[in-house]
Amino acid sequence: MVISRKPLHVIAAIAIAILPLFSFANVSNDSVKKEAHEVHAAADANHGETAEPQDKKAKVDAYIQHHLQDSHDFTFFSDEKEGKHYGFSLPVILIDNGLKVFSSSKFHHGETVAEVDGNFYKLYHGKIYKTDAAGTINYDEHHHPKNAKPLDFSITKNVFSMLFTSALLLFMFIGLAKSYKKGPIPTGFGRVLEPLILFIRDEIAIPNIGEKKYRKFMGYLLTVFFLIWLLNLLGMTPLGINVTGNIAVTICLALFTYFITQFSANKDYWMHIFWMPGVPVPMKIILMPIEILGTLTKPFALLIRLFANITAGHVVIMSLIAMIFVGKNLAADLPISLGLTLFISIIEVLVAFLQAFIFTMLSSLFIGMAVQDHHHDDHH
C-alpha cells in the first residue's frame, strides 16, 4: 500500500516548548482594551485603592478570552501607549446586496467604521455588523446587538491557519507519494513520518476496523490525525492561533466521523440499534432509543474531548505567564512562572500529539463497530 506523507520539522517540537513564553507579547487589541477600560473604570468608582491590581487582572482575563477567539487579522505585538498594532490584515468577504471584498485593515482593529460601496460596517467583539457612519450599535433588552449582520465568508485567522495546514498536508503527502516511486524506502523527511503512518495503520486502523476493510478508511484516518496534530502544534506558537480550541471546528471534525460511520454501516450495525438480537422483545423496545442516542453521544464525546483539552491547555499556559504581570514580587514570580510555563508547554507538546491520536483512535473504533460482521450463533 502506498501511503502519502511528509514530515514536520523535528526541531519545531523543541522550539514549540519555548515559543509560548513569548506569546504574551501579542498585546490585546481594541476589544481587550475596551473591556479592561470598563473594568478599570468600575474599579475606580467602587474600590479606588485596589484599582491597579484589578486593572491588570482585567487585562489578563480579556487577553485570554481574546486569544481563544477568532479574529480578522494577525497581531504580533502592539504598542499600547501609541495605539499601534504590528501584524498583517486578512481579507474580509461579505455578502450584502452583492459581494463586498476588502481588507480588515479598514477596521483598524475595530477602532473605526469601514465604508464599502456606501455601506458601513463595524467590527464588534469579533463580529461584523451593519451600522451608520458613526458606528452606532443598537442593543436589545439583554444587551445583545440588534444590528443586521451580513453573510460573512471572511478569511479569518482560524480559516487562514486551516488553509495553510491543508496546503502543508498536501505538500507532505504528495511529496511522500513521489518518493515511493524511487523505491520502497521513502527519502528525505519521509523517513521521519513513516513510523507514524505505519503506527496508525498497524495499531489503530487494522485492530479496530479489521484487516479486510481498513484500507477504505486509511485516507480519512491519516488526514484527520495529521490535520489535528499540526493545528495543535500551530496553536502553541506566538501567532495566537486556537483552531482546535474552536468548538465549531471540532464539531465539523466530529461530524465527518459521524457521517462516515453511519453511511458505511452494515445491516448488522443497524439491527443492533433498532432491534437488538438475542434479548426479549420488551428489552428491544427499551434499548432502541438508548442505542439511537448512543450514535449521537459518540461524536459529541469526540468534539468535547478535543475542544476542552486544547482550550484548557491554552488557558493554563497564558495564566501562568500572566503571573509575571499580575504578581507584585517580580524576582520571585518570574522564575516560578517561567518554570511552570516551560513544564506545561512540554506537556502541551505531548497533548498535541495525544489528542490527535485519541481522536483518530476513537474514530477508527466507531467506524469498526459499524462495519464489522457480527455472528449471532451465541444468541441461540
| pLDDT tens by residue, the chain, 380 residues | 334 444 433 333 334 333 333 333 333 344 443 444 444 444 344 433 333 445 666 666 666 666 667 777 777 666 666 666 667 788 888 888 888 888 888 887 777 888 888 888 888 877 888 888 888 888 888 888 888 888 888 888 888 889 999 999 999 888 888 888 877 778 777 788 888 899 999 999 999 998 888 899 999 999 999 999 999 888 877 676 778 888 888 999 999 999 999 998 888 888 888 887 777 888 888 888 888 888 888 889 888 888 888 877 777 777 777 666 666 655 556 677 777 777 777 888 888 888 899 999 999 999 998 888 765 544 44
∠284-290-291 over CA atoms, to 5°? 80
Smallest CA-to-CA distance from 242 within 148, 330, 161 is with 161
∠47-52-54 over CA atoms, to 5°? 70
Pairing of strands 84-89, 91-95: unpaired
Cross-strand partners of 128: 123
Q: Which residues contact 288 (CB under 8 A, 6 or more apart)?
A: 273, 274, 275, 276
State the pTM of this model.
0.74
pLDDT the model gives residue 48 = 39
Q: Indicate the domain borders of the chain.
A: 91-154, 158-379
Record the cell numbers describing residue 262, joined without a space.
453511519
| C-alpha dist (Å) from residue 94 to 118, 126, 317 | 14, 14, 35
Cross-strand partners of 75: 87
Smallest CA-to-CA distance from 355 within 301, 310, 313 is with 310
Record the cell numbers describing residue 284, joined without a space.
428491544
